[in-house]
Homo-oligomer: A and B are copies of this chain.
Amino acid sequence: MARTQEQRKAATRAGLLDAAADQFARKGFHAVSTDAVAEAANRTTGALYAHFGSKEGLLFALVDDYRDATADAVTASVPDPGDLDGIIAAAWDHIIAASHAPGSPWLLLEMELWLHGARNDRIGRQLAERYAHVRGDLADGLTAWAHAHDTKLVAPAPELATRALSFLLGAALQHRLDAASVTAGEVIDAVHLLVTEPRRHP
């Protein structure tokens, strides 16, 4: 096990952040003890405090990492930009399902962090950047799609991106509480409607 110090450090840091993400998502920041996070990462609070200084520092680091890491995860998971409905369906799947690790409560962490962002300026700014980044990627995807299909977008791409993201988020919230209340088909229809030229004439 001749790991370099740097590797060791990075591994613990990553492990702690992963554990924190998981626990914070499942139980909420304040309901999770530093011991619980450390134990889940097979480390101790000593390591945690050496890395992050405080429990809040752990949260800040998590938000930072989170912003950089998952920013383009949604858009990257999209298969190919051929079929718009396919893209929407993939995005929807990605949001409501755990995406990466099965059972990982993605949406829960998203909302947990959103709440902290709404209550803490520093976190709020980080998240705002993150959302802006996601919208940017989405907007790029839309313009690329429109270009590839020789279609004109009904509104500026950034606005359409905001539209799509808004709808997907809100639908996911409702879906989580009552899966029957929102079907994938309805989501696809609605986002399609928000983004494309109306097919019918007045």
Contacts and interface: CB of A to CB of B under 8 A. Distances in A.
Interface residues of A, number: 51
A199 interface: yes
A73 to B, nearest CB: 18
A170 interface: yes
B201 A202 contact: yes
Interface in A103-134: 105, 107-108, 111-112, 114-115, 117-119, 124, 127-128, 131-132
Contact of A178 (B29, B131, B167, B170): B131
Contact of A169 (B28, B128, B170, B202): B170
B170 A168 contact: yes
Contacts of A168: 170
A127 B177 CA distance: 7
A177 B119 contact: no
B174 A166 contact: yes
Contacts of A174: 131, 162, 165-166, 169
A26 B27 CA distance: 18
A111 B115 contact: yes
Interface stretch (A7-15, A42-50, A190-198): A190-198
A86 B195 CA distance: 23
A112 B115 contact: yes
A195 B93 CA distance: 24
Contacts of A190: 163, 166-167, 194
A128 B165 contact: no
Q: Which 3 A-B pairs have the closest CB atoms?
A: A198-B198, A30-B30, A169-B170
